[in-house]
């Protein structure tokens, strides 16, 4: 079950998973409730952006792959990191001008009309 706070960030609860797998399946809610992308999503202490790219939905971690800064959506065409200002594409998480870097992506699938994410158990 998902709930939404004033900032539009969705908080979620775990629907399955185990300590052995180190990943958990999270029900993000009904697909129809996500009308704007990227959509901020919080799972435990971890923050993501739900995006819809060429190959479907995925969660992009807001932890910068450079040195762990926070990647933010400031409303421009690209995400931007607060660490050193690197910019990332909003659908695939690839780094502008640095092809060896990309935001960490996690699988999101459809189960019925619900979006289910597979994310680290943090
Ligand atoms: S930590 Fe993100 S650009 Fe350096």
Residues near ligand 1 (Cβ within 6 A): 64, 66-69, 81, 83-84, 86
pLDDT attached to residue 1: 45
* Mean pLDDT calculated for residue range 15-25: 66
pLDDT digits (tens, 9 = 90+) for 64-118: 999 999 999 999 999 999 999 999 999 999 999 999 999 999 999 999 999 999 9
Can you tell me which atom of ligand 1 is nearest the CA of 70? 2
Specify the long-range contacts of residues 29-36, CB closer than 8 Å, at least 24 apart: 29/1, 29/2, 29/114, 29/115, 30/113, 30/114, 30/115, 31/110, 31/113, 31/114, 31/115, 32/113, 33/2, 34/115
Model confidence, pTM: 0.84
Mutate to test the pocket of ligand 1, among 62, 66, 100 (most ligand atoms within 8 A of CB): 66
CA 19–ligand 1 middle distance (angstroms): 30
Domain 3-120 has CATH 2.102.10.10: yes
Q: Whose CA is nearest to atom 3 of ligand 1?
A: 84
Mutate to test the pocket of ligand 1, among 84, 88, 96, 103 (most ligand atoms within 8 A of CB): 84
pLDDT surpassing 80 at residue 21: no
Can you tell me which atom of ligand 1 is nearest the CA of 85? 3
């Amino acid at each position: 079950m998902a709930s939404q706070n004033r900032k539009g960030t969705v908080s979620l609860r775990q629907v399955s998973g185990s300590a052995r797998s180190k990943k958990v399946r999270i029900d993000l809610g009904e697909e129809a409730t996500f009308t704007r992308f990227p959509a901020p999503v919080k799972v435990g202490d971890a923050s993501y952006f739900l995006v819809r790219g060429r190959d479907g939905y995925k969660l992009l971690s807001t932890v910068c792959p450079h040195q762990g800064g926070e990647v933010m959506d400031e409303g421009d065409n690209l995400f931007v990191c607060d660490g050193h200002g690197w910019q990332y594409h909003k659908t695939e998480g690839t780094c502008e001008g640095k092809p060896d870097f990309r935001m960490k992506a996690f699988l999101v699938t459809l189960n019925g009309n619900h979006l289910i994410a597979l994310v680290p158990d943090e």
